[in-house]
Amino acid sequence: MVLLHVLFEHAVGYTLLALKEVEEISLLQPQVEESVLNLGKFHNIVRLVAFCPFASSQVALENVNAVSEGIVHEDLRLFLETYLPTKKKKVLLGVGDPKIGAAIQEELGYNCQTGGVIAEILRGVRLHFHNLVKGLTDVSACKAQLGLGHSYSRAKVKFNVNRVDNMIIQSISLLDQLDKDINTFSMRVREWYGYHFPELVKIINDNATYCRVAQFIGNRKELNEEKLEELEELTMDGAKAKAILDASRSSMGMDISAIDLINIESFSSRVVSLSEYRQSLHTYLRSKMSQVAPSLSALIGEAVSHGKQKWGG
């Protein structure tokens, strides 16, 4: 004969219940199914052994996190060792989650069972819980469940250590979007400024550099030898800087008004800012990759900067 106990975890605390002794647990199934919806009948086969309330909402959150991860919290260990019979071989403990059942069996030595009649018993306990525990009302039990549910969800979203790659996923997506936007905006600058200085497009290929040069030159008619040194610094190429100066003197582009130049320069500066942010984001991503997945980062190298790798977990 074995004595079946059932562990029930609630937002307000741990509960231990006992059923009558039987030779075969499966024989209880029809009896339990028949009595689940009737409190009087349910009381005839299930009795409350012990109830241990959580000291605070923080303690409740710690315990529910431990149960969800299949870890025997110290509070649960003390509760079971205090109220379960000392003769472990004669005790069968019913639990709702196989993970916590396996952990209890390994650490405390109690045989654990899930599913079947255990699931039906837990369904009845869940339904009649506020009647089984003295001083607990249905309203207070629901409030505790709601509060713990919110805390548990927030904790999972904020502190899920298994999803440290979330930041990488978002960074790669943003990097990919920035590449598309910078290309689109740069083409707009090229077309817009190209009406005034069309030859510049053939000399400067890089989008970010083109925007910087267009912003620096402004009215091509004001470009002269005195600005050549600064132009060389922007292009990082003396020959290109000289070619730009020569092209500005013989350009076939249309004249441009001051207000048009102000708008082109303003838009160019924003494209340049986006390019600079894109570079800092790339640096951040490389640093994050080296921390989270150093081996993968070494293998794929710069491919990650183009958002080609898909992360999940």
Same domain, 103 and 142: yes
Same domain, 138 and 205: no
Same domain, 65 and 192: no
- List the CATH number of the domain containing 272: 1.10.287.4070
Q: Would you say the C-alpha torsion 116, 119, 121, 124 has a positive or negative sign?
A: negative
313 inside domain: no
Total domains in the chain come to 2
308 inside domain: no
The last residue of one of the domains, among 101, 124, 157, is: 157
φ, ψ (nearest 5 deg) of residue 108: -110, -15
Same domain, 269 and 292: yes
117 inside domain: yes
Q: What is the spatial distance between Cα 287 and Cα 291, in angstroms, rounded to a whole number?
A: 7
312 inside domain: no
Cβ–Cβ under 8 Å, residues 113 and 93: yes
Please choose, from the candidates 14, 28, 12, the residue with its C-alpha nearest in 3D space to the C-alpha of residue 84. Answer: 14
The last residue of one of the domains, among 157, 186, 202, is: 157
Same domain, 181 and 135: no
Same domain, 135 and 206: no
Cβ–Cβ under 8 Å, residues 129 and 138: no
User: What residues have CB less than 8 Å from 207, skipping those under 6 apart?
Assistant: 182, 183, 186, 187, 190, 271, 275
Same domain, 31 and 120: yes
Domain that holds residue 174: 164-300
Decide: residue 8, CB within 10 A, 0-12 exposed, 13-18 middle, 19+ buried.
Answer: buried
What pLDDT score does 158 carry? Answer: 55
The last residue of one of the domains, among 157, 179, 206, is: 157
Same domain, 84 and 171: no
Same domain, 151 and 242: no
What pLDDT score does 210 carry? Answer: 93
112 inside domain: yes
87 inside domain: yes
What pLDDT score does 204 carry? Answer: 92
Same domain, 148 and 255: no
Pairing of strands 3-10, 111-113: unpaired
306 inside domain: no
pLDDT tens-digit profile, the chain (313 residues): 567 888 988 888 889 988 865 555 556 667 777 777 777 777 777 888 888 888 888 888 888 888 888 889 999 999 998 988 888 777 888 898 889 889 998 898 888 888 888 888 888 888 887 777 877 777 777 777 777 776 666 666 555 545 566 777 888 889 999 999 999 999 999 999 999 999 999 999 988 899 999 999 999 999 999 999 999 998 988 899 999 999 999 999 999 899 999 999 999 999 999 999 999 998 888 887 777 666 655 555 544 444 443 333 3
What pLDDT score does 311 carry? Answer: 35
- List the CATH number of the domain containing 25: 3.30.420.220
183 inside domain: yes
Strand partners of residue 92 = 4, 111
User: What residues have CB less than 8 Å from 41, skipping those under 6 apart?
Assistant: 34, 35
Q: How many angstroms separate the most distant Cα atoms in the chain?
A: 105
Same domain, 95 and 207: no
Same domain, 182 and 264: yes
Tokens matching residue 52: 């241990």
Please choose, from the candidates 14, 19, 15, 271, the residue with its C-alpha nearest in 3D space to the C-alpha of residue 2. Answer: 19
